[in-house]
Every structure is written in structure tokens, then in C-alpha cells.
Structure 1
Amino acid sequence: MTGIMIVVTHLLGVGHLARMAALARALSAAGNAVTLVSGGRPIGTADIGGSSLVQLPPVHTIGTDFRTLYAGDGVSADEAYLDSRRAALIDAFDTARPDVLITELFPLGRRSLRREFLALLEHARSASPRPVILCSVRDVLNPPSREDRIAEAHAHLARFYDGVLFHGDASVVPLSASWPVTPSLERRLLETGYVHDGERSLAPSDNADGEDEILVSGGGSPAGLPLCSTALAAARLTPGLHWRVLIGRGVPEKDFEALRSATPENAVVERARPDFPRLLARSALSVSQAGYNTVLDLAAANARSILVPFAEGSEKEQGIRAGELAMRGLAQTFDQATITGTALADAVESALAQPRPDWRDIKRDGAARTIPLLSDAIRRSAGEKAAWKALDDVLARARNQERVIDFWWRDDDVIEPTPALDALLERSERWNVPMALASIPSRATDALVERLKSSPTADVLVHGWAHINHAPKGEKAAEFGAHRSGNELASEAGDGLARIIEMFGTQAVPAFVPPWNRVDRSFVGALPSLGFSGVSTHGRRSSVDQPDGLIRINAHWDPIAWKARGGLKEKSGLLLQLAELIEEELAADPGALEPIGILTHHLVHDAWIDAFLDELVPRLIGSGTVRFVSARSLFAPAA
């Protein structure tokens, strides 16, 4: 039996809780021990099946102000109240001791609750055994308004999470429609399909209400009131049609009664009903917002639909979803801010003349499909833990044998100061790890020279000349390949060395790093005559790679998944590769092999690469057997 803890806080409507309740019910029915922790207002109708429910001190928001949290009607949630939530959340984790922790929306949303989520994540990360940690998101997110918010969210994902459960279908609405999906994030998306409350759609009904009606639904909160008012205006203009307007339970009684008092004879206004899916299936047409659960109910009913997405404040989620569905011919859409009763009446009459759309491509079995994905995530996590252990074991053997394993670090394509370079150099200084920067001579800037004056342990190597691909079409990229004349290669390499020495002085190291790690072997022998003492490419060197007068020290370990469009490679493979490189060192005589070379490219690093290096490098340094050495010491000609 797998222990699973799901943490969800619905702040406005109840859609987030409904989706997680459906997921909890399916996971529980499959034999898992599920704890659903809810941080929103208690909802008595939430069916969680055999799961356990933990209710945190609730919070909610008003309107589209998701930054201000309320503990009750008109009562702000102060720090003491939020502290009590955090404590209750940690207690729930310690009681459940889950194998899998799922946080709904955070860190791709719910930023106003980040303190409690980060407290939980730090606590879970330090637990032994550490649970698999997953984020759960719907098909569409509210797009981030600031680049730093994206970076922050990705940093949290990279630091804490093993994957992201995507409760959608990329063939219908890809996550990239609402959130920037990097290659690292894309490889960690676990697509479940849509999670629909299928049992709710089969709720029994004692009557035949809804037959051939125009069914209007505005969600569970007051946010749907403008749509309901517009629908009643449209009803007055269509006396031959019968309208039914459902008002959410979260709408205050005074607002509900105001709508009822304005109801024309051909309409009914009533509270939202548990048999809504059956009403929808019997209706002639639905008029609704474009919330996740509502759209799935429309798909289940194969309904004609007019969507008026909620768009107050900076909310864009429903508009994106509605637009994607409209492009597929599944619905008409209207702007909430501009729709009128007349426009809605005309649209209703037009829609009724059209055949029902085919919603069959919207798969709604996401809860069931989540179950094997969780099993896969658990297996991957176990494999990663085993890979970390394999690395720790070989480091321990090296320490017991009193061996010193030398490493060096080469970073390529350095041109100018950037935030990414600053981050790399900050890590270098914090870890006391010398950094060999392979700089492109024709493109290196004076600003880079000034920046490196404050990083005296950084060495500068010669990275070709201009990093331009001269290879014929169809061949692998190369600047210093056999397809160019030796004179051309010698001229550019010599100019590159002269420029690097002129710019960087004592920080310059006369080592040649060919772009793309490819160089014509016959040209390598000419490097000493040009003033080079060394050359560095990628992969274990062999005896034929070391011409007289030239020191060859390569890089061997690259965390970037170049063949998969970038981002971080799979961690287990990287860790096992590193363990194998150290095994080779232990099997050889001390000093017989070149130092193990780490190769990075700071300009294409993302949060996942940086987070992995932040975990790995201190572990290597703290092993008591690894030593990082500088390029200037490695490529210094023998006396």
C-alpha cells in the first residue's frame, strides 16, 4: 500500500478541491492510503471516497485579489493564523508519513501561500525516507506576469519536485499555451489526461428538469453573477425558449434573491444542483464560464456550448481554455466584459440551429491514468536514490584507499558578463572550485575582462576563433575541421591565442578548446608551434591524442541533454556515469588518467541544471577524496 498525501487550497471557487477529491477517490479505490489536506473553506459535498480528510484553518479570497487572504468573513488571515496553518500542515505530513506528496498548483500558482508550501517541502525533503514529490496542475494556468516569478517557480520545481502531474491533454490544450515550458520541465511533465468527477456525472435524478432548456451556470462563487444577469436579459428577448440559471452556493443570499426577483416568466433561477451533469445532458444548450470542471461536464454531455470565460483582474486561464476549444469547433466564446443580453440572445438562437459538437477527443479518465504514473515516479525516484548511493559508495572506497580524485571544471562559450555567468562564478567562489572559462576570442568583450578581474581564480582558455560552423551540409558542426586548409586553421587559432592573452593577461591559459569539441587531428600537432601548451575536447583521451609538446586534458561529464533540445539529462544516468569515471580512476595507477572534467555551458543552464549542480558539487567536495584543480596548473608545460 502506497501512502499518498494531497495538499490543496481552493481560494475562490471549488474546482481545485473537486478535482483533487476525484483524484483522491480514485487513488484510494486502487488500494492506496490517501490523505487529502484541504486549506480552503470546508465543503460538505466533497466526496473523497475512502481517503482521510485533514482540514487546515481555512482561508479564502474575495474577487480576483489572490494576495489578500481571509480567515473568515471580513477577517484577514494574520501571521499567527497563517503560522497555525503551517504547523497543522507539518503535523499532517508527520502523521501520514506519505510515500508520495502532491501539492496542487504550487509552485506554478498559489504564490500567496508559498511560505507554508516551502515549509512543507523543506520538511518533506529532509524526511527519511524522502517521499516522491509531485506538483499537480490543471490543463491551463494563469500566465505569469513577470519573468522573475517564472524563474522562482522553476527553481522550486527543480529543487524539490520529481515531476509535474499535468491533468490535461497536450493535443487539446498544451501547457505551453499558458506557461513557458522549458525542455527540462517538458521531460518532467506526467500527462494524465483530464480528471473528471465521473461518479458525479451519474448522480441520480428524481425529475426530468432541463429538457431542451438553455442551462446557465456561473460557477460556485460570486464571480459568475455578471453572466447570470446577462442571461436573464437574454431570456427576456427569447420568450419562446426556457432558461434555467444555476447560482453557486458561494453566492450570498441577498445576491441570489436579487436575481430571482428579476426572473422573467420563461426562466428559473435556483441554487446549483448536484444533478447538474444530468441537466446538462438534457439541455438544448449550455451557457457557462470556462472552468476546468465545467468544460469536462460539457464534454461528458456532448453539449452545445457558449463559453463566457471569467476574466476579471489579470485572470486569463479560462480565456485561454475557451479559445483553444473554440479553435476546435467545440464552443462559441464571448468576452465577459462586452457581452450583452442582445448579443447572447442572438448567439443562442444561432447555436441552436447547429448540430451538437463532437467532444469525444476530450479524454476524462485522468484520475485512473494517474495511478500508473505515480508508480513510475516511485520507481524513478528509487533508481535515482540508488544512483546517489552508487556514487557515495565509490567515493567512500576512494577515501578508504586514501586516493585523491582530481576534477577540473570547464565552461564553454564565454563572451560577456551575464546573470548566468555571475551565478556560475558565485558558485565557483562559494565552493572554492577553480573555473576554466573557454572564451570565444573574436567575440569576447572588454566588459568580460573587467568582470573577471574580481574572479582571480578563473582561467580563460581559447575557444576556437568565432564559433562559426564551417562544416559542409550534412556533417557534424565544426569550426576547426578537416574541410578547411591548415593555413586557415593556424591563422585563426594563432589570432585567438594572441587576443586572449592580450585581453586577459595572467588569467589566459594557452589551451585550445575547439568549438563543438571537434578538431582536425592533423592540425592538432601544429598547436605547439602556435604557442599552445594544451588542447581540450570531450571524452577519455588516448595515446594517439597526445602529440609531442602538447598536454591533452579533456572534459568527460556534461549534464546537458543536447540531443533532447537542452535541459538536464536524467539524473540517474548522470550519477552512474560519474561513479563509473571514478571507478576508472581507482582501477588505474594514481596519476595515470587525466583529471575528470566537468563540462558546462552557463548560457543554456536552467533551474534544473543549477539545482542538480548545487546538490552534486558540495557532495563531491565533502567526500574527503575529491580535489578540484585549476586549468593553469593542468596545462602548465613541464619545466
Structure 2
Amino acid sequence: MKKIMFYCQYLSGMGHLVRSSEIVQNLAKYFQVYFIVGGPQIQGFELPTQVEVIRLPAIWLEEGKFTVGDSPFTVEEVKEARKKILITECDRIKPDCLITEFFPFGRHKLLFELIPLVEYLKATSPKTKIVSSLRDVIGKESAPEEEKTICDLMNRYFDLLLFHADSRFQTFSDSFARHKEIKAEIVHTGFVTQLPKITFTPFDELWNEAGLDTVKIVASIGGGRIGHEVLETLIRSSAILSQSLPHVIKIFTGSFMPAEKVAHLRKLASDRDNIQIETYTPKLLEYMQTADISISLGGYNTTMNILSTGVRAIVIPIGHEQVDKEQLHRTQKLENLGLIDSIHPQDLSPLNLSEKIVNCLYKNTLNNSEMFDLQGAENTANFLKSFLNSQTAVLSLV
């Protein structure tokens, strides 16, 4: 079996890890896979068992600066150790392919370890293919010099770009203005989605014996570093909804929400026994399959869950106030297609949210399985099987 090293670094949330895990799980059907994970451990999140997981000393961003948490080592010491581990693992594994998630379109703060890694592979194993794995919307509007850097890095080191979107929704040329300058092969894989499965968890266990006439609302905000205001507003809107709409709310704060903010939410909900607050659940897809409404941010994985389950959804695209418009862009396109409702963060209030929830209930659930290709992880594995064996692409090119 050919060997693939898959590098994943999540710096603030956990979306990159969720998407990468789904891809890696499918790659393991055909390859010997080494999954390099560079962020902090997430309690309750299970990494694919069919692969060898290589955990780098964890590093992540807080307020725009690297941190290593309560590690006894400094940031610089951890950076140096990570760089050495990556080279050592290359020598041990001798990969046929290296996949870097989101790099070089982002992760430029990690050039200290990624450039030595790809340089080493080019020097010692020139036949090793280097591949970039990229979500549908890059997000940040890059400055011209940064776009040039991206093109230079792609053209110098990379053989292939896997763009994880359905071309009917978003093409790579929509996402990157200088797409024509990139020489590597570019493939639209379809969306990387956790596809719904038969629910084995008893309904009562998920929703605490909520009656058939009780509206079931699931709320999630990804990793939890942003989006606290969405959950706070939802809790406050519950008092308004309760006047005419029996409901139960399941809130998942995300593993990275600061403890003081979680405590604040629990205090707000302390007098409402219809609201349950948890940190993380591996059963989010099951909750979305059985909920009447999902309330969330507009990150890639959550919106893919909305598409795959067809749940009625209200999306609040947080995070575009400065330069990152990823969530806003994706949310607007989905709403224009009639697949979700949304509230602009500036318009978020308990009254507006409660009204949106009531109106959303009158909409039918959707079946999006034929509208978009949601088999992106499987398609990625199938394409790489062909690409690495014969260099012949079998998916559509830009």
C-alpha cells in the first residue's frame, strides 16, 4: 500500500480537524495513512482508528499569538521540536504523498516548519507527491503580495490541489483571483460531509423525553472561541418563545469556549429547565437529524451537516467583521438558494431570533442529496488512488 502523510493544524477552532478526519478515514480504505495532528486534544473527539496518529507538541493561537498552554516548554522550544519531529517522521515513513491541509492558502504562521518539511521531501524524495487540501471558501481577502506568495509556494512545491467544494456551488476560480497562475492540477472533489447514518441513540436519550408537540432546537458554535453571543441570545429568546411555543434547547458550547463564558451561559439558563448546556457531543449529526431547527455559525462543517441532514437552519455568520468573510460568503450563497435562513450579527437580538425561529418552523425540511455532491471525502480517496498510481485524473478540472 502507498503511504500518505496528512498534516492538519487547527489554530483556533476545530473545523479543520473535523474535515481532515473525515478525509483521512476514507483515505485509509486504500492507503497506509499517517495523520499528523498539531492542535490541542479535544475531549470526546475520536480520531480515525484505521490510521497512525502522530501528535505534534500542541500549538495554537490566542489573540493572534502562538501559545502552548500549560506546557513546560516555551513557544520557540515547541516550534523547534515540531520541526525536528516532522523531518524524523519523513525519514521513518518515506511517504509516497504528503497532504497539507489549508496550506499554502493559509497557515503562513507555520512556515517555520512547513517550508523545511516540503524542502526536505523535494531534496530527499523527489518522487513524493505534495498535495494541498482546501475548503470551499478561503475566507480572508489576501493582499496582492500574499496572493503572489501563495502562487509561488504552489508552483514551487505542489503537484495537486484538492478543492473540497461542489463546482455548482463554488469553484476554485471564485475563491482565488489568481487561479490562472497556478500550474498544479486542480480538482473539485465535492463537499466533504459526514453523511447521515441510522440513528442508534434512543430519541428520548437525545431530547430528554420531549413530547411530539415540543419544538426541538439544537445550537452549536463549532470550537467555541467565537459565537458566545449567539448562545446567549438564544437563551434570552427562550423566554419569549415559551409564551406560545413549547420547546427544548440543546446547546453545545464547543471545547474551546473559555470557562467563564460557559459559566455565564449556565447562569443565564439556570431558571429554565428546558435548556441543556453541554461542551461537546460526538452525536451532533444525530441531534441535527432529529431536531426541528438548528441554530449555528456558518463554518464549513456545520453547514455541511445542515446540507446532509436537511434540517431547518438559522445561521449567524460570525467572524467577518474584520477581514475574514468566509462564513458570510457561504451563508449568503446558501440563503440565496433557499437552503437556510440567516441573521446578520448586527441584527441579532432575542426578539429577532425568536421571530426567525417561529417563521422557520413553517418551512419544509429539505433533501439536498441530489442538489450537491456530498461525497467529497470518498471522491478524494478515489481520485488519489488513481492519481498516485497512474497520474491520470478522473475528476473534473478547473
TM-score, length-normalised on structure 2?
0.88
Do the aligned residues in 1 keep the contact of 2:217 with 2:293 (CA within 8 Å)?
A: yes
- Tell me by how many angstroms 1:308 deviates: 0.5
What secondary structure, in the 3-state scheme, does the structure 2 residue paired with 1:54 have? strand
Query: Which segments of structure 1 move beyond 4 Å, counting only runs of 4 or more?
Result: 73-77, 379-383
- Tell me by how many angstroms 1:176 deviates: 3.4
TM-score, length-normalised on structure 1?
0.56
- Tell me by how many angstroms 1:279 deviates: 1.2
- Tell me by how many angstroms 1:284 deviates: 0.9
Matched, 1:377 2:387: yes
What secondary structure, in the 3-state scheme, does the structure 1 residue paired with 2:11 have? coil
Give the whole-Å Cα distance in 1 for the aligned partners of 2:72 and 2:169.
41
Q: Write out aligned runs for 1:542-621 (5 A).
A: none
Q: Which runs of 5 or more structure 2 residues have no equivalent in the other structure?
A: none
Query: Counterpart of 1:219?
Result: 222
Of the three residues 325, 330, 335, the one matched with 1:316 is 325
Query: Counterpart of 1:24?
Result: 24
Query: Counterpart of 1:393?
Result: none
Query: Counterpart of 1:205?
Result: 201
Matched, 1:78 2:65: no
Query: Counterpart of 1:467?
Result: none
Amino acid at match of 2:330: R
Give the whole-Å Cα distance in 1 for the aligned partners of 2:361 and 2:5.
45
Q: Write out aligned runs for 1:157-236 (5 A).
A: 157-185=154-182, 188-198=185-195, 204-208=200-204, 209-210=206-207, 212-236=215-239
Tell me which moved more, 45-54 or 161-170. 45-54
Query: Counterpart of 2:62?
Result: 62
Give the whole-Å Cα distance in 2 for the aligned partners of 1:259 and 1:215.
15
Q: Which runs of 5 or more structure 1 residues have no equivalent in the other structure?
A: 384-563, 566-639
Of the three residues 239, 260, 263, the one matched with 2:266 is 260
Give CA deviations for 1:558-604 in whole Å, capped at 9, x if unaligned: xxxxxx99xxxxxxxxxxxxxxxxxxxxxxxxxxxxxxxxxxxxxxx
Amino acid at match of 2:311: A
- Tell me by how many angstroms 1:381 deviates: 5.3
Do the aligned residues in 1 keep the contact of 2:99 with 2:133 (CA within 8 Å)?
A: yes
Give CA deviations for 1:223-258 in whole Å, capped at 9, x if unaligned: 121110111121121102422222112223332222
Aligned residues: 380
- Tell me by how many angstroms 1:92 deviates: 1.6
- Tell me by how many angstroms 1:221 deviates: 2.1
What secondary structure, in the 3-state scheme, does the structure 1 residue paired with 2:335 have? helix
- CA shift in 2, pair 1:213/1:29, >3 Å: same
Give the whole-Å Cα distance in 2 for the aligned partners of 1:77 and 1:324.
43
- Tell me by how many angstroms 1:83 deviates: 1.2
Q: Write out aligned runs for 1:384-403 (5 A).
A: none
Do the aligned residues in 2 keep the contact of 1:144 with 1:150 (CA within 8 Å)?
A: no
- Name which structure has the greater RCO, CA cutoff 8 Å, separation 6+: 2
Seq. identity, %: 24
Of the three residues 314, 337, 344, the one matched with 1:335 is 344
Of the three residues 127, 132, 135, the one matched with 1:130 is 127
- CA shift in 2, pair 1:226/1:76, >3 Å: farther
Give CA deviations for 1:288-325 in whole Å, capped at 9, x if unaligned: 01111111211221111111112154221111111111
Query: Counterpart of 2:287?
Result: 279
What secondary structure, in the 3-state scheme, does the structure 1 residue paired with 2:161 have? strand
Give the whole-Å Cα distance in 1 for the aligned partners of 2:72 and 2:295.
34
- Tell me by how many angstroms 1:187 deviates: 6.8
Query: Counterpart of 2:299?
Result: 291
Give the whole-Å Cα distance in 2 for the aligned partners of 1:308 and 1:295.
11
Amino acid at match of 1:43: I
Amino acid at match of 1:147: P
Structure showing greater Rg = 1
Query: Counterpart of 1:306?
Result: 314
Do the aligned residues in 2 keep the contact of 1:330 with 1:358 (CA within 8 Å)?
A: no
Query: Counterpart of 1:247?
Result: 253
Q: Write out aligned runs for 1:8-157 (5 A).
A: 8-30=8-30, 32-43=31-42, 45-62=45-62, 65=64, 68-73=65-70, 78-157=75-154
